[in-house]
Amino acid sequence: MTVNSIHKRYAGLFLLSVFVLLTFVLAAVSAQENLDVVRGEQIIASFTVEIARDNETRRTGLMWRTELAADNGMLFDFEETRSVRMWMKNTLLPLDMLFIDYAGTVVHIEHNTTPGSLDLLGSDTPTRYVLEINGGQAQQLGIELGDRVALPSTFHQGKNR
């Protein structure tokens, strides 16, 4: 084998490895859903959200992002209803965190969280989901405790309550 053919072989293996890695990363964060926040029968806000359903995507969340479109967010599914605490480590954007129970009801809101903070944020009410949106949006859109997030039917597959 010549040096040139060895370089080509290693370059090909490297590119294949990068492609495989990117495929896994994109698959983990590319699952998106459209979610509405409703009060009674009225839609008060709509978002396109990335879904964080596994430990890795829940762990990284929106870390290192420098922007989030106004109608975008991330929905964390904890697969069971329990006490949930989150922090803003390595998160560069202020966020609103909507803590949501199994039925989709907003039970707690953390407004305008502090980027990079290690303070634990959460709800005293058991939580199944957390919806992260841009800081200040909950107030701007009029989202309140008791509003409901219309969750896709595929979401209720973990432990119920």
* Burial of 58 from C-beta contacts in 10 A (0-12 / 13-18 / 19+): middle
Task: Quote the pLDDT of residue 151.
Answer: 85
CATH fold of 32-155: Jelly Rolls (2.60.120)
Task: Report pLDDT for 142.
Answer: 97
DSSP codes of every residue in 135-153: TTHHHHHT--TT-EEE--G
User: Residue 20 has what pLDDT?
Assistant: 41
Instruction: Tell me what pLDDT residue 152 has.
Output: 73
Q: Per-domain residue ranges for the chain?
A: 1-30, 32-155
pLDDT of res. 5: 60
Q: In this predicted structure, what is the pLDDT of residue 19?
A: 44
Q: What average pLDDT values come out for the chain (161 residues) when binned by 10 residues?
A: 61 49 46 92 96 90 94 95 95 97 96 97 95 98 97 62 52
Q: What local confidence, expressed as pLDDT, does residue 31 receive? A: 78
